[in-house]
Amino acid sequence: MRLRSKWLLVEFKFMGFLALVIILFSGWACNHSVKPEATQNLVLSVFHAGSLSVPMKNISDAFEKENPGVKVQLEAAGSLACVRKITELGQVCDVIALADYNLIDDLLIPNYAKWNVLFATNELCLVYTDKSKKADLININTWFEILMDPGIRYGRSDPNADPCGYRTVLALTLLNRCYPGRSDCLKLLEKDTRYIRGKETDLNALLESQTIDYMFNYRSVAVQHNFKYLRLPDSINLSNPMLNSWYSTSQVEVRGTSPGSVVSQKGASILYGVTIPLKAANPKLAEKFVNFITNPGKGRRILEQSGQNAIDPKYSAKSESITNRLSL
């Protein structure tokens, strides 16, 4: 009996020692294994303009490769539609990149965002294919007359949802002044309205299927999808910052960010903007992504390779008084 008691005492001490080892090892494992796992499986939500679909996909692939465990969730729409997701529908995203930086300045700052980084440019052009009717006749002097031909169908995006849509209206208004007596902006805008789509990239399928012969779109989209395109004069293609005073003589009213509201959009050279909404779920990761986009050897290089004109990043005028900005 005494021998058995001694054995039980030894066994109890051994079990206690084993429990202590397990506790100590568990603490070590937590300190060395769990912390790295905390950075895994993060989702970065990005709302972006339709014209950025190709470069944003390429940028997000590179960003995910550089940041294992991060998943970039892309959601493309017309830039105005992207804004309304935040202001009207209360949706949350970590980054929003738009084809018109003014939408961030005018509709998101200061209630939904604090700063706005300009990072890319573009130009409006007339896009077509080899199979487009009268493709052999289209040139800088005939294109607007060809579009008025009843046998020709053309598409454009919705001005109330997409900057490319209201930029098309602005460009056609300027066209009237450049070719007085030869063009009729109102008649051209009244023609083929059944081919208006929510964002510019929605028109690609219509062109590829020959449902339409031509579409107004950005040069970057034409390059990315190997379409032919006619470069329009700087006086109407909204590409030249030196002509902003001329562009601004044209304006169009579009639906605002709340039901029944109206916003006046003036002509201006095309500049893209990006920001991080105040309610971003992952603001630190979002900062890293925006810095990736504007990095010369990373995002900016990818933008250029994707047919998008990148520029040295700079803050918009409305961001100048903000102190808690990114260091670009």
**Spatial separation of the C-alpha atoms in residues 70 and 73, rounded to whole Å:** 10
CATH code, domain with 69: 3.40.190.10
Same domain, 91 and 139: no
Handedness of CA 298, 304, 308, 313 (dihedral sign): positive
Same domain, 182 and 243: yes
Beta carbons within 8 Å of 152's beta carbon, 6+ residues apart = 133, 134, 146, 213, 214
Same domain, 113 and 202: no
Mark which of 203, 227, 253 sits at the end of a domain: 253
Same domain, 224 and 162: yes
Same domain, 140 and 236: yes
Residues 217/165, Cβ–Cβ less than 8 Å: no
Same domain, 223 and 167: yes
Tell me, yes or no, whether 23 lies in a domain.
no
Q: Which residues of the chain are under the pLDDT cut of 50?
A: 1-14, 16-39
Q: What is the pTM of this model?
A: 0.85
List strand residue ranges (DSSP E) for 143-284, in order: 154-157, 196-197, 214-218, 228-231, 251-255, 262-266, 271-275
Determine the straight-line distance between the first and last CA of the chain, rounded to whole angstroms: 79
Same domain, 306 and 236: no
Tell me, yes or no, whether 18 lies in a domain.
no
Same domain, 98 and 166: no
pLDDT at 257: 73
pLDDT at 280: 97
Tell me, yes or no, whether 4 lies in a domain.
no
Number of domains in the chain: 2
pLDDT at 35: 40
Tell me, yes or no, whether 12 lies in a domain.
no
Same domain, 96 and 132: no
Tell me, yes or no, whether 115 lies in a domain.
yes
- Per residue in 144-164, pLDDT tens? 999 999 999 999 999 999 999
- Per residue in 239-255, pLDDT tens? 999 999 999 999 999 98
Mark which of 206, 221, 253 sits at the end of a domain: 253
Q: Which domain holds residue 186?
A: 124-253
**Spatial separation of the C-alpha atoms in residues 305 and 59, rounded to whole Å:** 11
